[in-house]
Amino acid sequence: MQKNLIVIIGPTGVGKTDLSLDIAEAFQTEIISSDSRQIYKELTIGTAVPTKEDLQRVKHHFIQTISVKDYFSASLFENKVLEKLSELFKEHDSVVMTGGSMLYIDAVCNGIDDLPTIDPEIRNELLDRFEKEGLESLRIELKRVDPEYYETADIKNPKRILHALEIFYMTGKKFSSLRTNTRKQRDFNIVKVGLNRDREELYDRINRRVDIMLDEGLIAEARTVYPYKELNSLNTVGYKELFQYFDGDIPEEEAIRLIKRNSRRYARKQLSWFRRDKELQWFHPDDVDAVKEYISTSIKK
């Protein structure tokens, strides 16, 4: 019997959690989180982790399972999710995966290139250089050793630059030469549902969600992880702005304004990424019955 992965994605704040719970209950299955920040134990409020009630309604996987101090990547996520799916498909014909982390979703649906495991010594050496010399020094290094990747990379993202340099120093080969972007075949059917709202409606939800997070104690939560602020896991909207406030660089009011602005910007970035996927069928999150009908006609038995 054919197995199915029901993928429910959309921008931050759109309403993925509520709809995913309804879908998982309708198809009597479990949920895999594809949120690259909800996976961290220390982050709850700022990552909008499902409530205890939600977690009791439907069993979730990859929620608060590792520490912000642990290394994790889209490649590791791909491997772990495929292992988990092989277990879940023994009990369920369909499994729901939901989240907004673009690379994590792509890794599971399409696969990513098989790249070598990085020696911790090389990783630590580069992280030490990043801390002492800053990002610009590593950008110059990347441009020198792999100009092809430099031209296409997000050079404002330390994680991307560090990873490309790790690959180079581990293998002696350019990261760009090892990327094939070849789609991997999966032995399960994938049904993709995209969620979106009118821009004004989405932005209002994002702004209100930030206010709710603040009421629930986001500032106090950010203080608990402040000692680890240099970690890539905490280069995250909602935390990095508060770290600036804690450092005395900006007032609290400005940090809050930036959290809302950067959350809206991230939502735009997510939508731009998702819209490239022609397999996505788009719905308003309130159209639960329409989503159920689409999934019912798309899954394979």
Domain spans, the chain? 4-112+182-298, 120-178
Other Cβ atoms less than 10 A from the Cβ of 61: the count is: 18
pLDDT score for 181: 64
| C-alpha span between 229 and 240 (Å, rounded) | 7
Query: Using 50, 70 and 90 to split pLDDT, how confident is the model at 180?
Result: low
Q: Which of 68-77, 100-109, 177-186, 232-241 has the lowest mean pLDDT?
A: 177-186
Residue in this structure with the two tokens 């490239």, named with its chain if needed: 276
Q: Which of 3-17, 87-101, 173-187 has the lowest mean pLDDT?
A: 173-187
pLDDT exceeds 80 at position 138: yes
- Considering the four listed CATH numbers 1.10.10.60, 3.40.470.10, 3.10.270.10, 3.40.50.300, the one that applies to the domain covering 4-112+182-298 is 3.40.50.300
- Considering the four listed CATH numbers 3.40.50.720, 3.40.50.620, 3.40.50.300, 1.10.20.140, the one that applies to the domain covering 120-178 is 1.10.20.140
Q: Reduced to 3 states, what is the DSSP secondary structure of residue 262? A: helix
pLDDT exceeds 70 at position 114: no
- Residue 24 tokens, joined: 């998982």
Query: What ranges in the chain are assigned the alpha helix state H?
Result: 16-26, 52-57, 74-88, 102-110, 120-133, 135-145, 147-152, 158-171, 175-178, 199-216, 218-225, 240-246, 252-274, 288-298
pLDDT exceeds 70 at position 172: yes
Residue 103's nearest CA partner among 92, 94, 111, 95 is: 111
Which residues are bridge partners to 4 per DSSP?
94, 189
pLDDT score for 159: 83
| C-alpha span between 45 and 221 (Å, rounded) | 7
Residue % of the chain over a pLDDT of 90: 70
Most confident of 26-35, 101-110, 146-155: 26-35
Q: Which residue has the higher pLDDT, 11 or 155?
A: 11
- Residue 130 tokens, joined: 């990043």
Residue 262 backbone dihedrals phi, psi, to 5 degrees: -70, -30
Q: Which of 8-12, 37-41, 138-142, 168-172 has the lowest mean pLDDT?
A: 168-172
CB 72 within 8 A of CB 234: no
pLDDT exceeds 90 at position 254: yes
Residue 140 backbone dihedrals phi, psi, to 5 degrees: -60, -40
pLDDT score for 25: 98
pTM: 0.83
CB 7 within 8 A of CB 193: yes
Write the DSSP symbol of residue 181.
Answer: -
pLDDT score for 98: 98
- Which helix (H) or strand (E) segment holds residue 282: the answer is strand 281-283
C-alpha dist (Å) from residue 97 to 144, 192, 194, 266: 39, 10, 12, 20
Helices 252-274 and 199-216: angle between axes, nearest 10 degrees: 140
pLDDT exceeds 80 at position 238: yes
Query: Using 50, 70 and 90 to split pLDDT, how confident is the model at 75?
Result: confident
- Residue 40 tokens, joined: 């961290």
Q: Which residue has the higher pLDDT, 280 or 149?
A: 280
Query: Using 50, 70 and 90 to split pLDDT, how confident is the model at 119?
Result: confident
